Amino acid sequence: MVRIVATGAVPHLADRIAEELSSEPADHAVGRFPDGEADVELTQRVRGEDVYLVGSTGPPVDARLVELALLADACRRADAGRVTAVIPYFGYARQDRRSGSGQAVPTRMVADTLQSAGVERVVVVDPHTPSLEATFDVPVESVTAVPQLVDAAQDALPDDTIVVAPDLGGVKLAERVAVALDLPTAVVRKSRLSGTAVETSGLVGDIGDRVPLLVDDMISTGGTLEAATQALQEAGGKAEVHIAAVHGLFAGDALERVGRLPVRQLVVTDSLPIEGSLPVPHRVESLAPRLADAIGRLHRGEGLGELAAHG
């Protein structure tokens, strides 16, 4: 039997997934000791059940990660049949290698932590790094939200749209959107200066007089979108942008930053809760149907088929 156990990260998404699967989320309590330590307790039996532990590891990233690992450990010790972590937004995926000799490799450390806590399989949605699968020893299933983003965005797109990757790392995701919409692509040359600042140095491709659809895996501070929009306007693009992003972290003053851009439409998924209201025309697409479908297939021992993200 499928059993959903949810961390506090995306309770509405977890409830909707459970509803789609006609399953009741397992009751549990998450508290805090006075010194800040998390204290989790399953208050319902999960013995022998096929547990899907749903929790994004977005802000507050470390607390969400610990909560997820503790709940995995609790499920394992309660004799769950199998524990699959469903992590729609996988934090720390951007730190998958060292760029200096004194640095850690957090993506690997997170994988080790979850595996040692009892996670036997992981489901993610369009992770930042395709190498996530190689970082884990247990199977990693990547679900893609691209068809949903495309469906949601396409009605408002003019005929002269061009799909734009805001950096080289985003080319594959942008190409998948462009193929689905049968549109041309361009890429912004971006370098990251710090966690909040980026700079651009022109484009690869011809933007002409087209309307850009910026496609990114995540919006964190909004710095990438801001810099890309400016680069596109300097290159002669129309003075409006459409944005499609899988994960909306909206860290710091990202909402204000995005609100200052000439955004015609922003499409994002509910892989993370949005704290505050989006100051531009937007659509928030729920991942619940796709994730419920993925969970159902995995429970039945089937592959993800067209739900899977490749490349």
The residues binding ligand R5P (CB under 6 A) are 128, 166-167, 169-170, 198, 216-224
**CA 297/CA 306 separation, integer angstroms:** 11
By C-beta, is 167 or 285 nearer to ligand R5P? 167
> 95 and 143 in contact (C-beta within 8 Å)?
no
Look up tokens 């949903």; give the residue.
Answer: 148
User: Biggest alpha carbon distance in the chain?
Assistant: 61
By C-beta, is 25 or 223 nearer to ligand R5P? 223
Burial of 87 by CB count in 10 Å (0-12 exposed, 13-18 middle, 19+ buried)?
Answer: buried
Burial of 180 by CB count in 10 Å (0-12 exposed, 13-18 middle, 19+ buried)?
Answer: middle
Nearest distance from residue 249's CB to ligand R5P, in Å?
7
Nearest distance from residue 64's CB to ligand R5P, in Å?
18
Nearest distance from residue 99's CB to ligand R5P, in Å?
13
Catalytic status, residue 190: yes
Q: Residue 130: how many CB atoms within 10 A of its CB?
A: 15
Nearest distance from residue 169's CB to ligand R5P, in Å?
4
Choose, from 16, 190, 257, 283, the residue flagged as catalytic: 190
Look up tokens 């397992």; give the residue.
Answer: 26
Nearest distance from residue 219's CB to ligand R5P, in Å?
5
> 228 and 190 in contact (C-beta within 8 Å)?
yes
Nearest distance from residue 174's CB to ligand R5P, in Å?
10
> 197 and 242 in contact (C-beta within 8 Å)?
no
By C-beta, is 126 or 293 nearer to ligand R5P? 126
- The residues annotated with a catalytic role in the active site are 190
